[in-house]
Amino acid sequence: MGISEDFRGSAVGESKELPWVLVTNDDGIYAPGIRALVSALVDSGMCRVFVCAPDRERSAASHVMTVYESLSASAIDIKGAVAYAVSGTPADCVSLTLSGVLSPPIKPALVLSGINKGCNCGYHIFYSGTLAGAREAVIVGVPAIALSLDWKRAQSHGTDFDVAASISLPLIKSALHYLENGGFSKDLFLNINIPTVPSDHKGFKVTKQGIARYPVRWLPVSPPGKGSSVPTLEGQTTKSLYDNDTQKDETVLVPDNTSDTDHQKLHFHIDYTLGDKLDMDSDFDFGAVRNEFVAVSPLALVSDDYNEYYSQVAAWVATLNSVGL
C-alpha cells in the first residue's frame, strides 16, 4: 500500500517548518559520497536531514530486501542530522524509515540516494543499490533522486564528492520547490550522473537511459584463509567499472578441502570489464557523462515500452489460444 498524499510534506504538525529530506546510499554510511552530500544539505539550511544508510558496503545490492533476518539500526553522530546505520540494504533503509518506526518518525518531502562512487548508467541501474534506494521511495509514494559521481581510479579525488554535492544543491532545492507546486508524476524518479571532473561540467542535460553494459567474468580465486588476497571491487586487483586502465592479477584456483562434505568447494570472484556496448551519444546517460554533462535521466516504475511489448505478447498468446494449448 502506498503512502497517502499528505506524506509528501514535512513531519506531522510541522508543515510550516523546513521539510525533511531522507538520505541513503549503497556505499555505506561512512562513505565520502554520502558524507559530502549530507554536509552540503546541512550547511545549505534548505531542509532538515535524516540519514538512514547501510552500516557497510552494499554496492550492487540491487533491490534486495531483508526478509529472513532481523535488521539492526544504530543511531550515529553526524553533525546537523539525525542518522542511523542499518544492517540491511539501501531499499531496507528507505522502507524502514518511511514505515515510521525510527525516531523521530518523519514524512520526508524527498529521498536522496548517493552520492555513489561510480556512475550508474545504462543497464547498471538494475544492479545498483543506489537506484534501488530511490526506487523504493517512489514505490511507497515519496519522490526521489539518485546521485552518482563518475569516479575513476588514479584520476578522481576525495574532494570531488564535495564539488559534486555543491553541484547537486541547486537541483535539490529546485526539486523541493517544484514538489511544493505539484511535483513530478508519482511513478517518476530521477537518476543524476555527475562527470569525473565535476568542476568542469558543461551543465545539466536531460538524457535517456542508455544500454551501456559491462560484461562480467568469474575468476577462480583461493578460498578465504588460504593466504592469498581475494580481489575486491575497490581493490587494486580488480578493474573498476567502465575503467580499463587497471591491470589484473590472475589468481589460480585452489580447491577448498575444509568442507565437511565429500565435495570440494570452488571459489570465484566477479570481475567487471569494460563494456562492449557504450552509448557515447550525449542524448543518453553514459555518453552525456563522458561528454562532461551532468546527466539527468527520468526513470519510471513502469517501462515506457510496455504498450509495444504488450501488443507483441498479446499476439503470441492469441496464437496459443487458437490452437487450444
Please give the pLDDT value at position 11.
41
Please give the pLDDT value at position 96.
98
pTM equals 0.81
Answer yes or no: are the C-beta atoms of 112 and 21 closer than 8 Å.
yes
Query: How many whole angstroms separate alpha carbon 263 and alpha carbon 202?
Result: 57
Query: What does each of the 325 residues of the chain score in pLDDT, given as a tens digit?
Result: 333 333 333 343 444 689 999 999 999 999 999 999 999 999 999 999 999 999 999 998 999 999 999 999 999 999 999 999 999 999 999 999 999 999 999 999 999 999 999 999 988 899 999 999 999 999 999 999 999 999 998 899 999 999 999 999 999 999 999 988 877 788 889 999 999 999 999 999 999 898 877 778 889 998 876 544 444 333 333 333 444 433 334 444 445 555 555 468 899 988 876 555 566 778 889 899 999 999 999 999 987 777 777 888 888 888 888 776 5
CATH of 5-209+281-306, one of 3.40.1210.10, 1.20.120.1770, 3.10.620.30, 3.40.50.2300: 3.40.1210.10
Answer yes or no: are the C-beta atoms of 295 and 288 closer than 8 Å.
yes
Cell 578522481, residue?
A: 156
Please give the pLDDT value at position 318.
87
Q: Compute and round to an integer the Cα radius of gyration of the chain.
A: 21
Cell 552500516, residue?
A: 55
Enter the C-alpha cell of residue 64.
534486495
Boundaries of every domain in the chain: 5-209+281-306, 214-276
11 forms beta bridges with none
Please give the pLDDT value at position 192.
97
Answer yes or no: are the C-beta atoms of 288 and 282 closer than 8 Å.
yes
Q: What are phi and psi of 243, to 5 degrees?
A: -130, 110
